[in-house]
């Protein structure tokens, strides 16, 4: 009996901490512009997922970070993996980004980066281009703006349905165990 009560208290404490962290994140996003502080989103293209490299039903692209992660570095904290991202929610985001990119005449990577750049409080996304061509493509996010309607569509489709980073990474690395 005591062990189950202790476990429930631990779970309640974890839930409370998660709620407090979510509240802190919301406050950070709301207050950041007024505090003249900024956010630097890390890995804004999620290892190629938001760059248009991935296609539903297709194999993982050869030479991609995801292929490297799956093959050589399983469980690496910062490595994007296929299995945890291969969800209808992720594909919905990827496909909406591709639609907006086609409308704008831009690449999916440019639209993904531009969406972040137009968010209040975002100073600059931290890109991780592997090639000069990727870098040039990423810089192309600076020469256009998304419409309010396009921003709204991307906002709507990207509301997380599950744990987002860093919670997903923590859960994956810890193998689901609580500490």
Site of tokens 């192309």: 140
Query: Smallest Cα–Cα separation from 86: which of 57, 113, 53, 126?
Result: 57
pLDDT confidence of residue 81: 65
Q: What's the pLDDT score for residue 179? A: 45
User: In which residue ranges of the chain is pLDDT below 50?
Assistant: 178-179
* pTM of the predicted structure, to 2 decimals: 0.67
Question: What is the reported pLDDT for 49?
Answer: 82
């Amino acid at each position: 009996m005591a062990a189950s009560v202790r476990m429930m208290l631990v779970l309640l404490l974890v839930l409370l901490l998660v709620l407090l962290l979510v509240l802190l994140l919301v406050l950070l996003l709301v207050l950041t512009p007024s505090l003249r502080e900024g956010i630097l989103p890390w890995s804004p293209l999620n290892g190629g997922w938001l760059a248009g490299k991935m296609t539903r039903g297709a194999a993982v692209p050869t030479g991609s970070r995801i292929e490297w992660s799956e093959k050589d570095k399983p469980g690496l904290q910062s490595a994007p993996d296929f299995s945890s991202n291969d969800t209808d929610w992720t594909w919905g985001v990827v496909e909406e980004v591709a639609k907006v990119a086609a409308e704008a005449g831009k690449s999916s990577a440019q639209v993904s980066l531009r969406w972040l750049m137009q968010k209040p409080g975002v100073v600059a996304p931290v890109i991780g281009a592997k090639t000069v061509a990727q870098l040039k493509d990423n810089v192309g996010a600076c020469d256009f703006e998304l419409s309010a309607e396009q921003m709204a569509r991307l906002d709507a489709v990207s509301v997380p349905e599950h744990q987002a980073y860093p919670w997903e990474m923590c859960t994956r690395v810890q193998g689901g165990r609580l500490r």
